[in-house]
Structure formats: structure tokens, C-alpha cells
């Protein structure tokens, strides 16, 4: 059941409609605000849109790093599984 949740980003309050739990939305909001703070600490950009765009780029970078790590882990597990199956087959 969708409900409205109030969040705060860059000191501005937003009311968003969401089907997920409020706690999860708050975790996402907190992560976004952390990324925004990182951008604000490392740049002289003061335009809100620029800060949000840079934070979005940092979040996209995090996403792709995790996605690549996940794919590498899956490949490693599949390779080890195949090797183990081949070893077991060779022992019978």
C-alpha cells in the first residue's frame, strides 16, 4: 500500500509517495544526503542542481563498482563450482 513519506534533502522537505517501508526510504535519503555532503566538502559549487548532479554521479559510480564486484564474484563462484564438479566426476 503506497503512502506519503516526508524526506529532507539539502534542507528542503519533500513529500514522496512510496510503496516501500518508511525506514528504507529514510536509509536512501540518508545515503543521498551523505553523498551531497561529500560533494559540498570537495567542491566550491553552490548551485543546488550542480551539487545534486555530482552526488548522483558519485552514487552511479558506487552502483557500477558494486555491480562489477558482484559480477566478478558470480564468475568466480561459477568457475569454482565447475572445477569442483569436474573433480568430483573424475573421482567416480
Assess contact for 2 and 19: CB atoms under 8 A: yes
- 67 sits in the region (left: phi over 0; alpha: psi -120 to 50; else beta) called alpha
Position 50 scores a pLDDT of 87
Express each pLDDT in 8-54 by its tens digit.
998 899 999 999 999 999 999 999 999 999 998 988 767 888 888 89
Express each pLDDT in 65-79 by its tens digit.
999 999 999 999 999
The model's pTM is 0.72
* Domain residue extents for the chain: 3-91
pLDDT of residue 1 exceeding 70, the answer is: no
Position 44 scores a pLDDT of 79
Amino acid at each position: 500500500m503506497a503512502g506519503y513519506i516526508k524526506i529532507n534533502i539539502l534542507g528542503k522537505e519533500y513529500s514522496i509517495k512510496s510503496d516501500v517501508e518508511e525506514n528504507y526510504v529514510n536509509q536512501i535519503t540518508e545515503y543521498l544526503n551523505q553523498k551531497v555532503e561529500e560533494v559540498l566538502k570537495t567542491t566550491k559549487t553552490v548551485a543546488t542542481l550542480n551539487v545534486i548532479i555530482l552526488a548522483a554521479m558519485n552514487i552511479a559510480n558506487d552502483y557500477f563498482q558494486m555491480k562489477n564486484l558482484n559480477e566478478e564474484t558470480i564468475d568466480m563462484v561459477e568457475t569454482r563450482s565447475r572445477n569442483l564438479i569436474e573433480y568430483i566426476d573424475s573421482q567416480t
